[in-house]
């Protein structure tokens, strides 16, 4: 049951090339080249949607380190009552094994918008977008350590080497941009624990690996040569390649590599243009917080604005990593929760709200899914005196935009915000839902590797229906 | 087989047809996996859904139908399980024995150069296909040079070849290439892809895998030395257990043991909260790599349930896990084992020879001094009394000789220490004074003797009682809230892990598990002499308790002692030892310790003098299986390891032996008592000298050895003689020790005791079957293996390379075929199972496998034969009719155009520029960290040009894959990758056009060309020969000359020429032919 079967009818490689020359460049080249014998099953993408997609693109706001659910979107008055007392429920083993007393949330919660969604003071700007959000409060992960949890969040497996969700989407849907890859990671400074493997193509072809994009003038690697390459030099290369193509009796692999150079040359103009924010209005700059006093806010603001510009240019999957805030290790508030979360929220809150509003104003939110998630949450009891340890047993994420039932809250945790109760939403469920919104059946996006048909959702995953519009 | 049954229902309850029809499994049949099961390795439920149609297709291609699934469901008993497996096994081609096929007769017998060609041609004949024409000689040369060495041919090689491109000339080229170091480097890289070679462990800290590069060097050396493949396989599985390890002639290092390093090249986390779960994942990866690499089987699929498609059961999987549970990681010293053994033997002989002479000389030196000891004891006693009365510090205000004063001090201490040899004397002597009457003195002596005797009796009684009252507390900390302390009476069988005195069973191999040489062949007995290279006193001490002793032969020998694997059943584990050592408790084989969690598995033992007990708090690991390793950091003796809630009693405290010493009346005077005491020392020396010293005698002699300065002065003559003996001994010993090779460390396996793994039901390590599964091979391949002791890996290795095993040779020849022809005869090179592909040329595959085994598994011979075949010489331009008939080139009617792999591209860039550093082996060059790779955890990066070393010598960091390598499809090192992709991404042209490394090399190349050739035309010819192994054709020449002319004008400067040539060189790096082979 391979995806290739969904192609309406077999087309020759040459046809495929000409058909895709204008648009789905990269994936077409890939398929072209790969359509040789053995590789046929291995490299082709989805070909067509399994069902009508609700979303064209995804922006994944990765809250590296794990945001505390009980301090953000999941208010628990019981914690205030029990503050300073021994935690009155069973505690699972924790990463640091330094278990303190029950700890109240230091921020006030209030309800926002027509939906009345509870948001803490940490996120005053996002709070103004409450009616756009679907808050999922019963998330669970399987790992208490960053790396395994990061890999799990990104790839559906707790170890390195498997394809990241962006790579799967690139593989399945290809790029809608002639000049940009399908999967881009805008790196605000914090590549998550576990390194580049979080954005790896795993066993998928390298084409699908996340391209690291920095919010700076030359945003991707090797875009500009150390010494300029003249038009004459390009012409020389082109002419020599024409002769070489002849020598290689127009072998497809060689020819698609030649075409690929054209893409690379095009990127040299389109990517700097994409990264240049000067044509955005002063209003937009302010909306995203580019004029903020706090430098990390400016950085994340640029990331969010870049994400919108990529959406406009057809990038399928954009992941944003957080900027470094001084003295904090990501959202990973093992000590001094108050400083850590205040500063990380300060860095991300306004840009995220800006992004949601801007997308909405431009009508892009209807076709863009925005996901806000860390790899796990944090414990309702203290680590040491004023930190919180990792908690994969119940935490909160939110989604917004295409196909999402705006202004909903789904799922709950116990009275301490420690464990999901009633039902659980797993990372696999999140992945299944993301793919579903993109028009992809997660059980049918497969890739034969190591003796089995691999999936992003492994053998799990159910669509989180209650949050869908 | 019993535990297998409850697991098998998964495969039996789902009918493939229903799953295929609905595209979904019905929920009732596929229960969700446990949440604890976190990895993909074994979770094959997916197959029921996604792969079922593939399966159905496979079936349609001609194999008999599956046994009626519904019927099997009806009776879920062993019989049907077994028969279902047997049917599967009997059906699929891969389990069939390798068959002997006759070389087919073919149409164009002149075309076929080798029997291989006949097999290919016969198939082409049958399909009505015509082989492509023979390729141009230079294209063949470039092809074979890259395929064998990963580098382009040099202009000189081209010239030589053109002088003789006859069959003999070609054979010469192939021999030259096979002999070159580059061959080893190129083919080692293929192998490293299989064993997911990396030098770090990934995850948060990306910790180093120390000395991983030695494994890489081992593989290179093995390919260079043309080690027979069966030997290579044996070394990987059990190189540490081979009776005669293979020694590298250059470095003299043990090569065989280094093969086992591959087991430990996987990823690992540093603080797993679920340590057993992490182990299960690690082991699954090891089994996965093992299965795919050597057998082309996806064995790890059977982690959660019987394999959906292949004849591999869950029991097979856990049977194999047992081999790993019975083994462990070891950073082995692989330095010249022959030299080490020789030196060890010489040291043993020297000690046997010289030890008695030294001891005798010591005895001669000490006995006369002992005869003067009674007087000295009396003087010192008097001094001590004097000091005590004055209540002044003893050392001050005294005119007596220092030794008397020190001895006086010692007596004061002895009085307070009932285990001290001088205790009785001191007690009596310090309770009387010069004025005491004879009666009072006699009374005091009697009292002291009685007191000692009673103490000793009490002590014995007490010890016995303490043993009988010993208990082990196991605190269950479930949920941390209400820990429950369970108390268990002490049970030696369960709680005593190591004890060399009682219960020591020399015939039990699990009781003596050591690595390397320093601990010798068994525990050292009580009364043994420890000799050192101290020139004044080479006799260091006498062993008081039978122990694992690291310095009995020489402290310069390396090694470690490990316990058997046992379950943690108490809060505290106690070690009784003396000396210094590092302790590592491997919990569920976890190694990567960093940070607070699991820091407690490490402990430093430090008691340079006395035997002592140290507790290891292990309550965090109750219920886990562990073993403990002791790595000496100096002189070290280990006596016991046991669980206990409190400090266990000392088994044997030194006892005064008054009963024997006092044959007649009890001493009436202090002098008599002093003499009797001295006699005990004398008797102890005699006993130890005659090698019949017990623990008491040893302790008395040890007191003398440690307090030589308190004894009466030695006779200068005797002392000189003793020192002369010592000098003779020490000189000889040091001369021998100097020859101990410097340690060379490499990753290896170390055998433990026999451990069997228990099936994890549905792959859940928290849900275990009732009985462990005995270790054995795959059930489809005659599984039983007889294992007397240890892991049994050697027997497993023998099964892998047994000619009866149809897989090992087939899988390997197929890999070689793939590297040379672009695709394997079985295209799914790592999976020969049902979901893999069937061989295109089954007869040829079996023919090659048979020939390979018959050639004594000769890898180079196989490669040589294949590249000299007519098949290999075909052009990549197919005959038009054949292309039409077989567009995917399934039947190999033409060669395949192939892109070079990542390492070849980088190496060729360097080689062509004339910059390749041909240094071989050694620690890796750090990976260059670009701005886009760098993050807050990035290690310091290496140079942009990787020191111009070949790519195989560039560090493989899991968290920082080299950007050039990653872009050109070097696989992520997480499992076996026998076939790489050739993908086409924008990152590739961006690198070749813009990367600083490529620009740097283009400039070097241009500089060499301009410096060497005044004429651009000659430079151009050389550039083409170097880069593409051919001269430029006219069109190319004209086009480039046109470019040169335009850029250079008539009188270019040298700099201008270099500038322009840099542009041309960069262009040539980007001409597609640079990265493609015709």
Express each pLDDT in A221-244 by its tens digit: 898 888 889 999 999 999 999 999
* Distance (Å, whole) CA A465 – CA A456: 19
| 8 Å CB contact of B936 and A97 | no
* Distance (Å, whole) CA B377 – CA B1075: 90
* Distance (Å, whole) CA A441 – CA A460: 12
Buried b (16+ CB within 10 A) or exposed e, B784-818: ebebeebbbbbbbbbbbbeeebbbbbbbbbbbbbb
pLDDT at residue B979 is higher than 50: yes
- Closest chain A residue to the Cα of B877, Cα to Cα: A249
Interface ipTM: 0.83
CA distances to A3, A15, A163 from A29, in Å: 17, 11, 20
* Distance (Å, whole) CA B502 – CA B636: 20
| 8 Å CB contact of A450 and B968 | no
- Identify the band that residue B459 occupies on the pLDDT scale cut at 50, 70 and 90: confident
pLDDT at A36: 30
Residue in A30, A147, A230 closest to B204 by CB: A147
Domain boundaries, chain A: 40-217+276-467
Sequence-distant (≥ 6) Cβ neighbours of residue B5 within 8 angstroms: B76, B77, B78, B81
Residue in A212, A241, A263 closest to B1072 by CB: A241
| 8 Å CB contact of A195 and B202 | yes
Q: Would you call B992 helix, strand, or coil by DSSP?
A: helix
pLDDT at B783: 76
Q: Which of A41-50, B799-808, B944-953 has the lowest mean pLDDT?
A: A41-50
Q: Chain B closest CA to A200's CA: distance in Å? A: 8
Mean pLDDT score, B195-214 = 94
| 8 Å CB contact of A243 and B1036 | yes
pLDDT at B654: 62
pLDDT at B87: 60
* Distance (Å, whole) CA A443 – CA A461: 8
Q: Which of A41-45, A90-94, A171-175, B586-590 has the lowest mean pLDDT?
A: A41-45
pLDDT at residue A356 is higher than 80: yes
| 8 Å CB contact of A157 and B39 | yes
- Closest chain B residue to the Cα of A232, Cα to Cα: B1043
Dihedral through CA B1033, CA B1036, CA B1039, CA B1042, nearest 10? -60
| Class level of CATH domain A40-217+276-467 | alpha beta
| 8 Å CB contact of B983 and A190 | no
- Closest chain A residue to the Cα of B976, Cα to Cα: A450
Write out chain A residues lying below 8 Å of B11, CB-based. none
| Average pLDDT of every residue of chain A | 86
* Distance (Å, whole) CA A315 – CA A273: 15
| 8 Å CB contact of B1073 and A190 | no
| Average pLDDT of every residue of chain B | 87
Residue in B983, B1067, B1073 closest to A236 by CB: B1067
**A contact test, residue of B1072, B1074, B1076, B1078 with most A CBs within 10 A:** B1072
* CA B668 and chain centroid, separation: 67
| 8 Å CB contact of B994 and A212 | no
Write out chain B residues lying below 8 Å of A187, CB-based. 932, 935
Residue in A248, A452, A455 closest to B835 by CB: A452
Q: Chain B closest CA to A109's CA: distance in Å? A: 30
* Distance (Å, whole) CA A108 – CA A121: 6
- Closest chain A residue to the Cα of B990, Cα to Cα: A222
| 8 Å CB contact of A96 and B597 | yes
| 8 Å CB contact of A145 and B298 | no
| 8 Å CB contact of A1 and B833 | no
| 8 Å CB contact of B202 and A197 | yes
| 8 Å CB contact of B983 and A37 | no
Bridge partners (DSSP) of residue A391 are A377
Residue in A157, A190, A263 closest to B40 by CB: A157
- Closest chain B residue to the Cα of A263, Cα to Cα: B986
| 8 Å CB contact of A267 and B876 | no
| 8 Å CB contact of B47 and A452 | yes
Write out chain A residues lying below 8 Å of B897, CB-based. 248, 251, 253-254
Q: Chain B closest CA to A183's CA: distance in Å? A: 12
- Closest chain A residue to the Cα of B896, Cα to Cα: A251
Q: Which of A298-302, B451-455, B889-893 has the lowest mean pLDDT?
A: B451-455
Q: Which is more confidently placed, B441 or A294?
A: A294
- Closest chain A residue to the Cα of B310, Cα to Cα: A451
Cβ pair A277, A219 in contact under 8 A: no
pLDDT at A41: 28
Per-range mean pLDDT, top range of B193-207, B637-651, B735-749: B735-749
Strands (E) across B588-728 are located at 602-617, 625-643
Cβ pair A341, A68 in contact under 8 A: yes
| 8 Å CB contact of B975 and A161 | yes
* Distance (Å, whole) CA A103 – CA A79: 6
**A contact test, residue of B40, B139, B762 with most A CBs within 10 A:** B40
Phi, psi of A298 (to 5 degrees): -60, -45
User: Among A47, A46, A107, A111, which Cα is nearest to A80's?
Assistant: A107
Write out chain A residues lying below 8 Å of B987, CB-based. 206, 211, 221-222
pLDDT at residue B76 is higher than 70: no
Mean pLDDT score, B535-552 = 93
Sequence-distant (≥ 6) Cβ neighbours of residue B627 within 8 angstroms: B328, B562, B563, B564, B565, B566, B585, B586, B752
Q: Which is more confidently placed, A229 or A159?
A: A229
- Identify the band that residue B707 occupies on the pLDDT scale cut at 50, 70 and 90: very high
Neighbours of B591 (CB within 10 A): 18
**B contact test, residue of A459, A461, A463 with most B CBs within 10 A:** A459
Q: Which of A45-59, B139-153, B265-279, B944-958 has the lowest mean pLDDT?
A: A45-59
Mean pLDDT score, A96-120 = 93
- Identify the band that residue B663 occupies on the pLDDT scale cut at 50, 70 and 90: low
| 8 Å CB contact of B267 and A160 | yes
Write out chain A residues lying below 8 Å of B877, CB-based. 249
Sequence-distant (≥ 6) Cβ neighbours of residue A453 within 8 angstroms: A1, A2, A446, A447, B46, B47, B50, B51, B54
pLDDT tens digits for range A271-302:
999 999 999 999 999 999 999 999 999 999 99
């Amino acid at each position: 049951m391979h995806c290739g079967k969904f192609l309406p009818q077999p087309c020759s490689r040459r046809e495929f090339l000409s058909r895709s020359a204008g648009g789905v460049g990269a994936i077409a080249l890939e398929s072209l080249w790969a359509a040789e014998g053995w590789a046929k099953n291995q490299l082709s993408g989805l070909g067509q949607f399994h069902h009508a997609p609700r979303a064209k693109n995804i922006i994944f706001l990765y809250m590296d380190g794990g945001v505390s659910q009980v301090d953000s979107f999941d208010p628990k008055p019981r914690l205030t009552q029990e503050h300073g007392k021994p935690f009155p429920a069973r505690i699972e083993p924790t990463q640091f094994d330094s278990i303190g007393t029950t700890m109240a949330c230091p921020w006030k919660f209030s309800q926002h918008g027509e939906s009345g969604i509870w948001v803490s003071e940490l996120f005053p700007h996002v709070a103004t977008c409450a009616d756009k959000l679907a808050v999922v409060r019963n998330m669970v992960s399987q790992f208490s350590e960053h790396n395994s949890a990061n890999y799990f969040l990104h790839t559906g497996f707790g170890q390195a080497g498997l394809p990241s969700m962006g790579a799967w989407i690139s593989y399945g849907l290809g790029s809608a941009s002639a000049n940009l890859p399908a999967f881009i990671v805008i790196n605000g400074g914090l590549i998550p624990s576990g390194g580049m493997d979080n954005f790896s193509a795993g066993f998928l072809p390298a084409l699908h690996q996340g391209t690291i994009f920095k919010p700076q003038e030359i945003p991707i690697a090797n875009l500009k040569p150390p010494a300029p390459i003249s038009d004459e030099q390009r012409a020389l290369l082109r002419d020599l390649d024409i002769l070489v193509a002849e020598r290689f009796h127009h072998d497809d692999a060689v020819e698609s590599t030649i075409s690929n150079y054209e893409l690379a040359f095009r990127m040299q103009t389109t990517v700097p243009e994409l990264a240049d924010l000067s044509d955005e209005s002063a209003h937009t700059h302010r909306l995203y917080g580019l004029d903020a006093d706090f430098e990390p806010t400016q950085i994340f603001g640029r990331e969010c604005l870049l994400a919108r510009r990529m959406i406009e240019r057809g990038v399928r999957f954009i992941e944003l990593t957080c900027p470094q805030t001084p003295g904090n290790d990501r959202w990973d508030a093992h000590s001094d929760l108050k400083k850590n979360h205040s500063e990380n929220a300060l860095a991300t809150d306004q840009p995220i709200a800006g992004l949601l509003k801007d997308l909405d104003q431009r009508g892009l939110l209807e076709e863009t899914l925005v996901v806000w998630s860390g790899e796990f949450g944090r414990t309702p009891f203290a680590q040491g005196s004023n930190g919180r340890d990792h908690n994969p047993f119940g935490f909160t994420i939110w989604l917004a935009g295409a196909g999402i039932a705006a202004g909903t809250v789904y799922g709950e945790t116990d009275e301490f915000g420690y464990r999901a109760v009633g039902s659980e939403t797993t990372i696999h469920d999140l992945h299944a839902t993301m793919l579903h919104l993109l028009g992809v059946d997660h059980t049918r996006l497969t890739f034969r590797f190591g003796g089995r048909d691999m999936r992003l959702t492994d053998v799990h995953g159910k669509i989180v229906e209650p949050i869908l519009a | 087989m019993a535990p297998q049954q409850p697991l098998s229902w998964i495969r039996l309850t789902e009918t493939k047809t229903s799953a295929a029809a609905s595209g979904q499994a019905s929920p009732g049949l596929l229960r969700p996996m446990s949440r604890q099961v976190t990895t993909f390795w074994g979770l094959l439920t997916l197959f029921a859904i996604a792969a079922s149609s593939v399966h159905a297709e496979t079936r349609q291609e001609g194999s008999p139908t599956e046994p009626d699934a519904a019927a099997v469901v009806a009776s879920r008993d062993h019989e049907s399980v077994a028969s279902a497996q047997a049917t599967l096994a009997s059906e699929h081609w891969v389990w069939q024995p390798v068959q002997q096929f006759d070389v087919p007769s073919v149409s164009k017998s002149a075309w076929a150069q080798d029997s291989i060609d006949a097999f290919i041609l016969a198939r082409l004949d049958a399909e009505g296909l015509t082989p492509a024409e023979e390729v141009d000689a230079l294209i063949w040369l470039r092809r074979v040079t890259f395929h064998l060495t990963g580098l382009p041919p040099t202009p000189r090689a081209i010239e030589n070849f053109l002088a003789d491109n006859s069959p003999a000339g070609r054979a010469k080229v192939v021999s030259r290439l096979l002999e070159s170091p580059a061959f080893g480097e190129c083919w080692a890289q293929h192998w490293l892809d299989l064993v997911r070679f990396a030098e770090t462990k990934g995850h948060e800290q990306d910790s180093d895998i120390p000395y991983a590069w030695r494994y890489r060097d081992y593989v290179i050396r093995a390919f260079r030395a043309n080690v027979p493949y069966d030997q290579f396989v044996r070394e990987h599985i059990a190189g540490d257990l081979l009776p005669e390890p293979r020694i590298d002639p250059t470095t003299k290092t043990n090569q065989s043991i280094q093969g086992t390093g591959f087991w430990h090249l996987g990823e690992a986390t540093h603080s797993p909260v679920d340590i057993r779960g992490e182990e299960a994942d690690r082991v699954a990866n090891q089994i996965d790599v093992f299965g795919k690499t050597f057998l082309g089987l996806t064995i790890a699929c059977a982690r959660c349930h019987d394999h959906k498609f292949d004849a591999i059961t869950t029991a097979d999987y856990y049977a194999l896990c047992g081999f790993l549970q019975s083994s462990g990681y070891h950073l082995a010293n692989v330095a010249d084992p022959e030299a080490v053994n020789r030196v060890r033997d010489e040291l043993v002989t020297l000690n046997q020879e010289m030890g008695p002479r030294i001891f005798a000389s010591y005895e001669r030196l000490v006995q006369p001094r002992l005869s003067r000891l009674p007087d000295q004891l009396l003087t010192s006693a008097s001094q001590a009394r004097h000091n005590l009365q004055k209540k002044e510090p003893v050392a001050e205000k005294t005119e007596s000789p220092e030794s008397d004063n020190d001895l006086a001090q010692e007596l004061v201490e002895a009085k307070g220490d009932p285990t001290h040899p001088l205790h009785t004397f001191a007690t009596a002597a310090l309770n009387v004074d010069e004025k005491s009457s004879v009666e009072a003195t006699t009374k005091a002596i009697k009292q002291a003797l009685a007191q000692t005797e009673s103490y000793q009796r009490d002590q014995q009684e007490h010890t016995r009682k303490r043993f009988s009252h010993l208990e082990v507390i196991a605190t269950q900390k479930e949920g941390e809230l209400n820990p429950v302390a369970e108390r268990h009476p002490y049970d030696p069988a369960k709680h005593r892990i190591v004890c060399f005195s009682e219960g020591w069973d020399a015939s039990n191999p699990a009781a003596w598990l050591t690595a390397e040489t320093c601990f010798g062949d068994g525990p050292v007995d009580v009364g043994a002499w420890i000799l050192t290279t101290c020139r004044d006193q080479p006799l260091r001490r006498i062993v008081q308790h039978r122990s694992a002793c690291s310095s009995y032969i020489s402290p310069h020998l390396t090694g470690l002692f490990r316990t058997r694997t046992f379950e943690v059943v108490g809060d505290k584990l106690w070690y009784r030892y003396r000396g210094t050592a590092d302790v590592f408790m491997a919990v569920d084989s976890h190694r990567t310790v960093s940070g607070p969690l699991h820091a407690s598995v490490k402990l430093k033992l430090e008691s340079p003098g006395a035997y002592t007990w140290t507790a290891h708090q292990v309550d965090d690991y109750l219920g886990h299986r562990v073993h403990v390793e002791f790595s000496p950091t100096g002189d070290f003796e280990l006596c016991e390891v046991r669980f206990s809630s409190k400090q266990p009693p000392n088994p044997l405290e030194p006892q005064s032996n008054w009963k024997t010493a006092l044959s007649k009346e009890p001493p009436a005077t202090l002098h008599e008592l002093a003499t009797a005491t001295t006699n005990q020392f004398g008797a102890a020396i005699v006993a130890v000298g005659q090698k019949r010293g017990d623990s008491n005698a040893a302790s008395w002699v040890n007191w003398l050895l440690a307090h030589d300065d308190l004894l009466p002065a030695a006779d200068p003559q005797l002392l000189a003689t003793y020192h002369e003996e010592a000098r003779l001994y020490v000189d000889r010993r040091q001369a021998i020790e100097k020859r101990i090779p410097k340690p060379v460390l490499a990753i290896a396996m170390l055998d433990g005791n026999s451990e069997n793994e228990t099936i994890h039901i549905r792959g859940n390590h928290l849900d275990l079957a009732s009985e462990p599964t005995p270790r054995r091979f795959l059930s489809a391949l005659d599984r039983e293996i007889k294992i007397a002791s240890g892991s049994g890996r050697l027997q497993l290795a023998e099964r892998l390379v047994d000619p009866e095993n149809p897989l090992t040779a087939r899988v390997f020849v197929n890999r070689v075929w793939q590297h040379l022809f672009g695709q394997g005869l079985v295209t799914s090179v790592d999976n020969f199972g049902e979901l893999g592909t069937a061989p295109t040329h089954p007869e040829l595959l079996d023919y090659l496998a048979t020939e390979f085994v018959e050639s004594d598994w000769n890898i180079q011979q196989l490669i040589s034969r294949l590249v000299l075949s007519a098949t290999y010489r075909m052009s990549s331009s197919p005959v038009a009719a054949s292309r039409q008939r077989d567009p995917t080139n399934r039947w190999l009617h033409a060669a395949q155009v192939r892109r070079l792999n990542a390492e070849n591209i980088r190496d060729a860039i360097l080689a062509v520029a004339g910059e390749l550093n041909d240094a071989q082996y050694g620690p890796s060059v750090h990976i260059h960290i670009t701005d886009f790779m760098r993050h807050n955890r990035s290690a310091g990066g290496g140079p942009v040009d990787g020191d111009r070393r070949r790519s195989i010598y560039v560090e493989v960091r899991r968290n920082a894959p080299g950007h050039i390598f990653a872009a050109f499809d070097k696989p992520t090192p997480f499992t076996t990758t026998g076939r790489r992709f050739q993908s086409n991404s924008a990152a590739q042209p961006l690198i070749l056009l813009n990367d600083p490394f490529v620009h740097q090399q283009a400039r070097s190349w241009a500089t060499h060309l301009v410096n060497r050739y005044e004429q651009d035309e000659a430079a151009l010819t050389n550039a083409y020969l170097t880069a593409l192994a051919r001269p430029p054709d006219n069109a190319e020449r004209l086009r480039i000359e046109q470019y040169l002319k335009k850029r250079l004008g008539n009188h270019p400067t040298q700099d201008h020429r270099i500038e322009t040539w840099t542009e041309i060189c960069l262009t040539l790096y980007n001409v597609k032919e640079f990265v493609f082979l015709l």
